[in-house]
Amino acid sequence: MGVPGHAVCLLAAALLLVTGELVVLVTGELRDIEGLLSDNPEPRGDELGEAIASLFSAIEAAILGRSSDPEWQETTNLAVNSCQQNLQPGLSLSQASVYALLCIRWSLFADCDRQQQARGELDAAGEQRQAAFLQGDCPLSPQSLKDVLEAVTGRTFEQCGLDTAATYEDVVNALHCLLENFQNGVNMDYDELKSAINAALTGPNAQQAQTLLEEITNKCEANKKSDDFFNCWINLGALSCAYQEANRVAAAIPGQCQLSA
């Protein structure tokens, strides 16, 4: 059965895509969000920015109302703010609603994976999500940074088996191989790694080098051990996948939608 092709149906599409706990969480705020996604013309300029901010606030309020636990509140606030900051410019309010719900849901999944991994309890689904990042084309995925990683390390993906790694464990082992010259025993040598990356900032892979330095190395250098560094990289990378894929899905949705049951 078809659904009228107006802006509110995009919210319905988003809710169908994110079936599960998040749907329950946002149901209480649905009226407010529907008010934003009315049949009125899509807002533009400053009005669009204000409407998108209100959209994120409404979703955040719904999730925060689920629990007063400080850790839950902090995690939710970080997920919502990070998703809002990584929203692709140019999306309409309707598209932004789809992005917001997908991004926040996937970000919370990524945080669950991080917590389970820290306890040594990461399940198969979590390992699959992390492997998808390691083998994918997300902004922080090794494949996306291949040119600069090979230039900085002096080793190729082929030499270390990164081009053929099939499992999560295989990819992590290959990364150990790739960055072997920047490890002292079980610890990372961040001084040497940063020096090599800085040397690449003026080369042909300058943009990738900047990403490797600012988005991975600087944010993960508090982790002294190599394994902890790789875990930090993977956790940040999984979030970069969430932002990228949520933006892709949202941008692909036209101004009107038609749902069939």
Q: Would 79 be classed as within a structural domain? A: yes
In a domain, 131, yes or no: yes
The DSSP symbol for 167 reads S
Map residue 183 onto helix, strand or coil: strand
Whether residue 14 lies inside any domain: the answer is yes
Residues 115 and 136 in one domain: no
**Residues 261, 258: Cα–Cα separation, whole Å:** 10
Is residue 184 assigned to a domain? yes
Domain membership of residue 257 (yes or no) is no
Q: Specify whether 146 is located in the same domain as 228.
A: yes
User: Distance of alpha carbon 28 from its chain centroid, rounded?
Assistant: 26
Judge if 33 and 84 occupy the same domain.
Answer: yes
Parallel, antiparallel, or unpaired: how do β-strands 187-188 and 183-184 relate?
antiparallel
Q: Which of 131-135, 177-181, 211-215 has the lowest mean pLDDT?
A: 131-135
Residues 109 and 172 both lie in one domain: no
Q: Same domain, yes or no, for 136 and 95?
A: no
The two three-digit tokens of residue 37, written as one number:
């996604």
Same domain flag for 115 and 205: no
Residue 258 lies in a domain: no
Q: Average of pLDDT values for 88-113?
A: 90
Dist CA 137 CA 28 (whole Å): 36
- Domains in the chain, number: 2
* Residue 1, domain member (yes or no): no
Residue 197 and residue 156 in one domain: yes
Domain extent at residue 222: 124-241
HSE, CB side, 13 Å, CA atoms: give it for residue 78.
12
* Predicted confidence (pLDDT) at residue 133 exceeds the cutoff of 80: yes
- Contact between 82 and 60 (Cβ < 8 Å): no
204 to 148, 152, 209: CA distances (angstroms):
9, 12, 9
Alpha carbons 100 and 79: distance in angstroms, whole number: 10
In a domain, 115, yes or no: yes
Both 12 and 115 in one domain: the answer is yes
**What does the pLDDT look like over 241-257, one tens digit per residue?**
999 999 999 998 875 55
For residues 101 and 161, membership in a common domain is answered with no
Encode pLDDT of 182-211 as tens digits: 999 999 999 999 999 999 988 888 999 999
| Residue 149 sits in the same domain as residue 208 | yes
Radius of gyration of the chain (CA): 21
Question: pLDDT tens-digit profile of 151-177?
Answer: 999 999 999 998 887 777 888 889 999
Contact of 215 with 140, CB cutoff 8 Å: yes
Residues 117 and 16 in one domain: yes
